[in-house]
Amino acid sequence: MPGTFGSYQNEIYLQGLAGTVPPFTTDPDALEASARERLGPGPFWYVAGAAGTGATARANREAFDDWRIVPRMLTDATTRHLGTTVLGTTMPAPVLLAPVGVQSILHPDGELATARAAAELGVPMILSTASSHTLEDVAEANGDAPRWFQLYWPNDPEVCLSILDRAKKAGFTALVVTLDTWTLAWRPHDLDSAYLPFLRAVGTAIPFSDPAFRAGLEKSPEDDLPMAILRWVHLFTGTDKSWDQLAFLREHWDGPILLKGIQHVDDARKAVDAGVQGIVVSNHGGRQVDGAVASLEVLPEIADAVGEQVDVLFDSGVRTGADVVKAVALGAKAVLVGRPFAYGLAHGGQVGVRHVLRSLLADFDLTLGLSGHRSPAELNRDALRARR
């Protein structure tokens, strides 16, 4: 339905006449602080924290300020069509839910709540390998909605194949292979409280329910939890693999494959040569390399280099409708949003994720229209000006 996301604004104001206000803030800048009040320090910092000094996470946000939208008038943008199709997946706006692991640290329903909220809006979710619910249960909660699967590429090929097979059977259509987290970065916020959810058996639902993983254990996870955890921690983020090994995934996954974590033009070209269909320009929300380039900073050069050959998606730092406008104008087919929906989840599960998503999509819809555009397809660099 054209332009309907923006009507969330009318709904909020009308409900205000009956004395009802939104369940929590619509202000992206206030969302993090509000989530902090609801979470213990371990879970809060696991989400909010970043690698090292947090310089990359800060750069991600600052990079959006380096571009400014130049609004155009009298363009007849009253009726808008936000929808798009990326790698065969139709979506109501160029926005997907980023893979975020261990969601049960934020709400007991975790990924199930996210899957339900995503399905209500038709927004595709990307399920993390580090899910706290099995991929079959998440698929069921997600119903007929579009969904992709994010792979942390396990070192054991049998386990990898088994997980891919389950994902296919559960209706996940595209595979997002995360390359930037083959080991965890130095994250002082988590280190200071010695908080790592996986060691507490959170985010292990997929392997622990996997026949190939279980077959490799002497005792089941139910009988010997510490050994199962240790084996998975050893396996699951993989080691730094090589470009030629991508052939293995191409051979065993018949849908589109995207590589997540690309920040260099040469790596984007290698992705094209490796025969994948998409890339996600991402620095994991600044959670991996401290002192790195902002993801938005490298988006234009990467989109220029490979945007004709593969679908270029973007994440790291997207918080507002204007951010979506800017990323799409700089060459992204769609963006992934991470921490904001995680904070929404912390505010009441499905309802919280829904509110955050509706707010972001309403903001995007209105900003798109007010800047003079009827669809994301009309956005290009003419819509922006670099800050001097």
Binding region for ligand FMN (CB under 6 A): 46-47, 60, 98-101, 128, 130, 150, 178, 260, 282, 284-285, 315-318, 336-339, 342
Burial state string for 154-167 with b = 16 or more CB within 10 A and e = fewer than 16: bebeebbbbbbebb
- Which of 284, 347, 355, 373 is labelled catalytic? 284
Choice between 81 and 182, CB closer to ligand FMN? 182
CB 341 to ligand FMN: min, Å: 9
Cβ nearer to ligand FMN, comparing 204 with 369: 204
Q: In the complex with ligand FMN, which residue's Cβ is closer, 130 or 325?
A: 130
Residue with Cβ nearer ligand FMN (29 or 382): 29
Min dist CB 178 to ligand FMN, Å, is 4
Task: Report the distance separating Cα 96 and Cα 105, nearest Å.
Answer: 21
CB-based contact 210:72 (threshold 8 Å): no
User: Minimal distance in Å, beta carbon 242 to ligand FMN?
Assistant: 19
3 state SS for 53-117:
CCHHHHHHHHHHHCEEECCCCCCCCCCCCCCEEECCEEECCCEEECCCCCHHHCCCCHHHHHHHH
284 assigned to active site: yes
Distance CA 108, CA 177 (A): 26
Backbone angles phi, psi at 285, to 5 degrees: 65, 30
User: What span, in angstroms and rounded, lies between the C-alpha atoms of 51 and 47?
Assistant: 11
Write down the least CB distance from residue 5 to ligand FMN, Å: 19
Residue whose Cβ sits closest to ligand FMN = 338
Distance of CA 170 to the CA centre of its chain: 19
Give the residue with the Cβ less far from ligand FMN, 77 or 229. Answer: 229
Minimum gap (Å) between residue 244 Cβ and ligand FMN: 22
Catalytic residues: 284
